Amino acid sequence: MDLKKIIALGLAGIFLLTGCAERREVAQQMLENKKMENRHEATTFAMDTVMSFIVIDEDGDELIIDAEQEIRRLENLLSITLENSEISKLNAAAGKEPVELSNDTMILLEAGKNLGAGTGGAFNIAISPIVKAWGFTEEEHHVPTREELDALLPLTDASDVVFIDASTAYLQKEGMAVDLGGITKGYASDKVASLLKGKGVESAIFSLGGNVYGIGTKPGGEKWEVALANPLDANDYCGLISVEDCAVVTSGGYQRFFEENGKKYHHIIDPVTGYPAESGLLSVTIICESGTEADVLSTALFVMGLEDALEYWQKYGGFEAIFITEAGEVVATEGADACFVFEGSGNDFTYRVVESE
């Protein structure tokens, strides 16, 4: 269960009109009040996590229902635990036969495979046998033996996920399986954003288990604010990120883990070792226009560790990032710093900005 703390602050705003307020200001305030009346909120549970929505639109309630339906439609296609999902069928047919898939499943498999290759395999859609061995898939956690992991690692080569044609995929080895848990919520956030925008929504923010997407701005024109969770304290945050028409996605070992013999084991696997990534990072937050890319990158850069992640950012760009390290540092890329207010002084974090070269 996600512990991500997302706060969309200040929506109500405080209007301080002076005695000599001009008509235009009054009109503006009336317009803003009207928009506030159109504020619709809801929280639901889907994709194994908590999802919350704020939509500013007179049809907000119906639009949130549309969004939820879209999320459940995707969950029914992409879930690894629902027996009849397309992903479950693809996994069950591994090494046996190709499987015909719907457009969304194909898009996500291809995006996951290609983006994953771009991260040098740090993000790996074929990681499922290892995730399962640690018990994260069925929530029956235990530490697997080294032998068990070594036997499974050859089954996690993403290049063995092949596309026969535009609507057919095949897992080439028996025992292989794909796990889209590291990308599905980001993809769903893109789909929900385009659904809402397509219906004329100009102001909304929603969080699909911590995969946040902000559409437009708050009714007053200020940017939406997303709290950067303190990975060491679920009731605290390390600062606020301002967003407008973009995604903010965090991956962190603190979000899903279990303890055995006093040691913590989290859910983000280093595909090289088969062990939970020990990269010196507590969390990685990606800010970028595409929720799908942000989701892939947050997982991948967590696996890479700070040094390789910054190198990746310098080389490819196209996103901004905030890292929180085990050493207590909050490190922001230049563009992330521009939309982030650090508030870590009360919790012993220090702050550093990395410029692009």
184 touching ligand AMP, by CB under 6 A: no
- The encoded tokens of residue 272 equal 């090289």
Q: Which of 50, 67, 212, 269 is close enough to bind ligand AMP by CB under 6 A?
A: 269
Contacts of Mg ion in 6-25 (CB under 5 A): none
Count interface residues toward ligand AMP (CB under 6 A).
18
Beta bridge partners of 338: none
C-alpha pair distances (Å), 188 with each of 107, 171, 182, 205: 12, 24, 12, 14
Q: Which of 5, 40, 71, 123 is close enough to bind ligand AMP by CB under 6 A?
A: 123
Nearer to ligand AMP, 203 or 298 (CB): 298
Asked if residue 180 lies in contact with residue 80, where contact means CB atoms within 8 angstroms, the answer is yes
Of 62-70, 239-247, 262-270, 308-316: span binding ligand AMP (CB under 6 A): 262-270
293 touching Mg ion, by CB under 5 A: no
- Partner in contact with 136, chosen from ligand AMP, Mg ion, none, beta carbon below 5 to 8 Å by kind: ligand AMP
285 touching Mg ion, by CB under 5 A: no
- The encoded tokens of residue 55 equal 């939509």
Nearest one of 51, 57, 47, 38 to 4, comparing CA atoms = 51
Nearer to ligand AMP, 182 or 216 (CB): 182
What gap in Å lies between CA 295 and CA 277, rounded to an integer? 17
Q: Which of 85, 91, 299, 325 is close enough to bind ligand AMP by CB under 6 A?
A: 299
Nearer to Mg ion, 225 or 295 (CB): 295
Q: Which of 129, 214, 253, 271 is close enough to bind ligand AMP by CB under 6 A?
A: 271
Cβ of residue 357: shortest distance to ligand AMP, in angstroms?
27
What gap in Å lies between CA 87 and CA 83, rounded to an integer? 9
274 touching Mg ion, by CB under 5 A: no
What gap in Å lies between CA 357 and CA 355, rounded to an integer? 6
What gap in Å lies between CA 236 and CA 230, rounded to an integer? 5
Contacts of ligand AMP in 35-54 (CB under 6 A): none
Residue 159 φ/ψ, nearest 5 degrees: -75, -10
Residue 313 neighbours by CB under 8 Å, 6+ apart: 301, 319, 320, 321, 333, 354, 356
Nearer to Mg ion, 56 or 188 (CB): 188
What gap in Å lies between CA 240 and CA 95, rounded to an integer? 47
131 touching ligand AMP, by CB under 6 A: yes
Cβ of residue 247: shortest distance to ligand AMP, in angstroms?
12
Asked if residue 137 lies in contact with residue 128, where contact means CB atoms within 8 angstroms, the answer is yes
Of 37-45, 60-68, 240-248, 264-272: span binding ligand AMP (CB under 6 A): 264-272
- The encoded tokens of residue 244 equal 């407008």
Of 33-41, 298-306, 313-321, 349-357: span binding ligand AMP (CB under 6 A): 298-306
182 touching Mg ion, by CB under 5 A: yes
255 touching Mg ion, by CB under 5 A: no
Asked if residue 263 lies in contact with residue 309, where contact means CB atoms within 8 angstroms, the answer is no
C-alpha pair distances (Å), 1 with each of 28, 51, 226, 248, 262: 42, 11, 19, 19, 20
Cβ of residue 90: shortest distance to ligand AMP, in angstroms?
15
Of 82-90, 103-111, 267-275, 312-320: span binding ligand AMP (CB under 6 A): 267-275
Nearest one of 107, 70, 123 to 251, comparing CA atoms = 123
Q: Which of 57, 75, 179, 343 is close enough to bind ligand AMP by CB under 6 A?
A: 179
Residue found by looking up tokens 């080439």 in the block: 172
295 touching Mg ion, by CB under 5 A: yes
What gap in Å lies between CA 35 and CA 203, rounded to an integer? 10
- The encoded tokens of residue 175 equal 């025992």
299 touching Mg ion, by CB under 5 A: yes
Residues of the shown chain interacting with ligand AMP in the complex, contacts defined by CB under 6 A: 123-124, 127, 131, 136, 179, 181-182, 251, 256, 267-269, 271, 295, 298-299, 303
Residues of the shown chain interacting with Mg ion in the complex, contacts defined by CB under 5 A: 182, 295, 298-299
